[in-house]
Amino acid sequence: MLNLSKNHRNLVLVSFWGYLILSAFVSIIPALQMQEVKPLPGQVDLTHNEREGLKTYVAENCMACHTQQVRSIAMDKTWGNRPAIPSDYYFSKQRLDFWRQSPSLLGSERTGPDLTSIGTRQPSDDWHLLHLYNPRLVVKESIMPSYKWLFDEVDSSQIRKGDVVLKVPAEYLSNPKNKIVAGKKALDLVAYLKSLKQPELPGETTVAFIPAKKKKASASTEGGGSDLPDGGTLFMNTCAVCHQSDGKGLPGAFPPLAGSPIVNDKDYRLMVGIILKGYDARAEYAAMPPMADQLSDEEIAAIVNHEKTSWGNDAPTITAEEVKSVRDSLMSK
């Protein structure tokens, strides 16, 4: 029997071997297992700007409030198509530079939403930039700090070609003649956030990104019949981040839907076309990204019907077949 209290040689040997065994299980074996992780087919490396944005993401400690992990539990289905696997992090876990290994981006707190597929959920550059400049502009209840040091407030005469100017309401400017210009770090950070899209597994059957979108409305709900999803839920998950839950939009940034002549027009084709292909009205508002790849004909019809019958709007509803006719017409051009 080892007498560690009196035999110092045994004490040192036991401590030494204990250290080696623990090191093997804690560091060596996991490191060797990581070498076996391979990227998924179709998964691409981060671009230079996206990798610079990752550095800003790390420097600002965004993982203190946001996670990038989808657990195998029902409540996490909101954030991705499937539970996360090691290959999802293959490229983002490469070294930041020669001396620094990328820190863990998994996070453990969801003070803010998970970002696993934020690039799919929110593909708008303008929304991300406004959200970074002042989160309360786009999400009134947000407790996220603003990152104004990533932007510059300059006189309109100092705007240069290639500058990305934010559509910020005048009351947020120190001078009404000034403009807010996104700095390189802000642009790189947005590029990184937009790159966060959960890749599909080989042979995987595509499912709804947000399961709530497939929730069926009852026969007594919005126009379009019970064969359509719940337009109100779809609107809140897809559109409300810009147009706001009350449909009033954000002055100077996102147009209102309440009382909109486009929404209330009996001819639905322009409205559906904007949803499908997006719209760039930079003279007045931020650009809207296309949603053709994210929303089905049934989902678009449900959203359109919700908007046409909410906030005092009173316009005829449409069907999924009418949305399909517009999609086919636009895609054939």
Q: What burial class does residue 109 get, using C-beta atoms within 10 Å of its C-beta: 0-12 exposed, 13-18 middle, 19+ buried? A: exposed
Of the candidates 135, 166, 195, which is a domain's last residue? 195
> Do residues 177 and 273 both lie within one domain?
no
Q: What is the mean pLDDT of the chain?
A: 83
Confidence of residue 219 (pLDDT cuts 50, 70, 90): very low
Average pLDDT over residues 84-107: 80
Contact status, residue 178 vs residue 156, Cβ threshold 8 Å: yes
Choice among 19-28, 58-67, 81-90, 311-320 with the minimum mean pLDDT: 81-90
Check if the beta carbon of residue 95 is closer than 8 Å to that of residue 101: yes
Judged by average pLDDT, the poorest of 62-71, 108-117, 204-213 is 204-213
Please report the pLDDT score of residue 44 as a whole number. Answer: 87
238 in any annotated domain = yes
With cut-offs at 50, 70 and 90, classify the pLDDT of residue 203. low
How much is the pLDDT for 282?
Answer: 57
**Do 220 and 323 share a domain, yes or no?**
yes
Same domain as 163, residue 250:
no
| pLDDT of 216 over the 70 cut | no
Predicted TM-score (pTM) of this structure: 0.72
Question: What was the pLDDT predicted at 206?
Answer: 45
| In a shared domain, residues 80 and 175 | yes
Residue 7: inside a domain: no
Give the whole-number percent of the chain exceeding pLDDT 70: 90
Looking at 137, 161, 195, the residue that finishes a domain is 195
Q: Quick one: 168 and 68 in the same domain? A: yes
**Number of domains comprising the chain:** 2
In the predicted model, what is the mean pLDDT of residues 112-123?
90
Residue 202 lies in a domain: no
Same domain, 167 and 68: yes
As beta bridge partners, residue 254 has 250
Determine, yes or no, domain membership for 211: no
pLDDT recorded at residue 240: 82
| Contact (Cβ atoms closer than 8 angstroms) between residue 221 and residue 274 | no
The stretch 34-39 carries a mean pLDDT of 75
On whether residue 309 sits in a domain, the answer given is: yes
Domain hosting residue 251, numbered range: 216-331
Q: Identify whether residues 64 and 189 lie together within a single domain.
A: yes
Residue 206: inside a domain, yes or no? no
Nearest-angstrom CA–CA distance, 193 and 105: 12
Claim to verify: residue 133 and residue 265 sit in the same structural domain: no
Residue 23 lies in a domain: no
Q: Is 1 within a domain? A: no
Query: How far lies 158's CA from each of 44, 134, 181, 282, in Å?
Result: 37, 22, 10, 19
H or E segment to which residue 322 belongs: helix 320-331
Query: In which element (H, E) is residue 178 found?
Result: strand 178-182
Indicate if the pLDDT at residue 75 is higher than 80: yes
Same domain flag for 238 and 273: yes
Q: The domain spanning residue 277 has which CATH number?
A: 1.10.760.10
Looking up tokens 């001819």, which residue turns up? 267
323, 227: one domain = yes
Alpha helix locations (H) across 24-171? 29-34, 48-59, 118-121, 125-133
309 and 186 in one domain? no
* Residue 145 and residue 239 share a domain: no
Domain termination site, one of 195, 224, 252: 195
Residue 144 above 60 pLDDT?
yes
- Give the Cα separation of 151 and 133 in Å (integer): 7
How crowded is residue 322: how many other Cβ atoms within 10 Å of its Cβ? 18
Q: pLDDT band at residue 152, thresholds of 50, 70 and 90?
A: very high
Mean pLDDT of 134-157: 90
Q: Which residue did the predictor score with more confidence, 121 or 211?
A: 121
Residue 324 has pLDDT above 60, yes or no: yes
